[in-house]
Amino acid sequence: MRAAVADLLAAVGPDGVLPIVQAGDPVLRTPAVPYTGQLGDLLPGLVEVMRRTMHAAPGVGLAAPQVGIGLALAVVEDAGAPGDPRERTPLPFRVLVNPSYEPVGDPVGEPRRVGFFEGCLSVSGWQAVVARWHEVRLTAQDETGSVVDERLVGWPARIVQHETDHLRGELYLDHAQTRSLTSNENLARYWATSVDPEPAARGLGFDLP
């Protein structure tokens, strides 16, 4: 694995980014190997090139398998959007090593799912509605080995679930309402926005949670 990462970093072009693996490549369907220090001093370089690749795409998360490396690593970052009904609060840049999540609810309620359109850099040009947990507890380590243990709500929780699923060999399409699948062009043409999925649910005939 170290040799593969060294070769990958050596092949980074002048723009400093990597090509993003697209659906159909087996690396996206193979559970990632837990990270136990295999990369040594190569880890900071991989993290940085993943960060640049995520920003250039542009995206809000990128898992190592999406650049062809089957290790349980991901980077996430989102500036947020005040007032967005998806609860798109800022998610500062961070590295997630061996992440996992579990749903949580408020003190008097059960965990609940919410449905919104979701896309993926490895399924370029398409979006579909996915019901995700509204609130999750994220556990992981960061790139220094420090423990990450926090609760996330809304869009940050969705980002973490999406990227962690990548490390399990899953794509968002595995969890999507298949009748909601739409090209980016038709999403803009017919439904105007990905923020409110209800018009698409009525027009395309699928249920929301």
pLDDT at 137: 97
What is the torsion angle, in degrees rounded to the nearest 10, for the CA atoms of residue 83, residue 89, residue 90 and residue 91?
-160
Q: Alpha-carbon distance 44 to 40, whole Å?
A: 9
166 assigned binding-site residue = yes
Asked about 118 being catalytic, the answer comes back as: no
Per-residue pLDDT tens listing for the chain (209 residues)? 899 999 999 989 889 999 999 999 999 999 999 999 999 999 999 999 999 999 999 999 999 999 999 999 999 999 999 999 999 999 999 999 999 999 998 766 789 999 999 999 999 999 999 999 999 999 999 999 999 999 999 999 999 999 999 999 999 999 999 999 999 999 999 997 778 999 999 999 999 99
Provide the pLDDT for residue 192: 79
CA distances from 41 to 38, 52, 209 (A): 9, 19, 45
pLDDT at residue 152, as a whole number: 97
Report the DSSP beta bridge partners of residue 116: 130
Residue indicated by tokens 């439904």: 191
Residue 134 is assigned to a ligand binding site: no
Q: Which of 87, 118, 135, 163 is catalytic?
A: 163
Predicted pLDDT of residue 13: 84
Quote the CATH superfamily of domain 2-204.
Peptide deformylase (3.90.45.10)
DSSP letters for 84-126: -TTT---EEEEEEEEEEEEE---TTS---EEEEEEE-TTSTTE
**Are 127 and 156 a contacting pair, CB within 8 Å?**
no
| Pairing assessment for the beta strands 113-119 and 91-103 based on DSSP bridges | unpaired
Residue 162 known to bind ligand? yes
